[in-house]
Amino acid sequence: MSRRSWLKNIAVVAVAAALPAGAASAAAEGGKEKKLAKSAVHYQDRPNAGKMCGMCRYFLPAGGMVGHGMMGPQMMAEGSCQVVEGRISSMGYCDLYTPI
Ligand code: SF4
């Protein structure tokens, strides 16, 4: 496990620890049952120092796409996230950002 992956896992555990028991286990498993609230991970609708949902491994574009990244029509699209609830902007950002 790389240092970056380890740090991200620690961030997920730290956020999950602040939530009810059911949400914590779901978050650790990638949100199959219940996702984290935007407020819990400090979600924002704008990038943070060039980091954005469209470049995060957890982002799920609404219409699907081949690959991730900044180029193409998906750049400005909304979608969803594997670990955070609600509609997610590809230009958004949160504490759990994990680059592809
Ligand atoms: S930055 Fe946060 S909200 Fe955006 S895709 Fe990644 S984990 Fe989900």
Q: Please write the tens of the pLDDT for every residue from 36-88.
A: 999 999 999 999 999 999 999 999 998 765 455 555 555 567 899 999 999 99
Provide the terminal-to-terminal Cα distance of the chain, rounded to the nearest Å: 15
Whether 15 shows a pLDDT value over 60: the answer reads no
Q: Residues with Cβ within 6 A of ligand 1?
A: 43, 53, 56, 58-59, 81, 83-84, 88, 92-94, 96-97
Counting atoms of ligand 1 from 1, which one is nearest the CA of 88? 3
CB 55 within 8 A of CB 69: yes
Give the Å distance between the CA of 53 and the centre of ligand 1. Answer: 5
pTM of the predicted model, to two decimals?
Answer: 0.65
Q: What is the pLDDT of residues 34-44, one digit of tens each?
A: 899 999 999 99
Q: Delimit the domains of the chain by residue range.
A: 3-89
